[in-house]
Amino acid sequence: QFAHFFLPQNATVEPQSSCGKSNTSHPILVLGFGAGHSLSLNFSERADKYQCNLFTGEEKTVSHKTTIQAYMGTKYRCISPNRVNMKNVNITFSNVTLEAYVINGTLSTN
């Protein structure tokens, strides 16, 4: 069974999102959309670079190691589709801007 949808413009950053806390938790971005749906991106960090390690889902839980990474103070924009294939779920990123730890709600000019 397949479902195809676009992450809506009004998707929200959920309270479960965190910059990580010392050695107790890793950075996580949780995007909420629709009626109780969410997309979680788990990150690891090395010096000034953050890498997306896992994608998780609510109804079907899947994980996949990726090579998506971002340096601090630099924004990245994916215009062409970038597909991540997993066992039961595929995610395609397109027209997405990503920056590790946006400061004061403003994306970097880099």
Q: pLDDT: is 106 or 87 the higher one?
A: 106
- Decide which of 2 and 11 is more confident: 11
Cα dihedral sign, 94-98-104-106: negative
Give the mean pLDDT of 81-97: 72
Residue range 5-24, pLDDT digits in tens:
677 888 888 888 887 776 66
Q: For 33-47, write each residue's pLDDT tens digit.
A: 887 778 877 777 666
Predicted confidence band of residue 89 (pLDDT cuts 50, 70, 90): low
The beta strands (E) that lie in the chain are given as 12-13, 28-33, 37-46, 49-57, 69-71, 75-78, 82-85, 90-93, 96-99
User: Quick one: tokens of 68?
Assistant: 């998506």
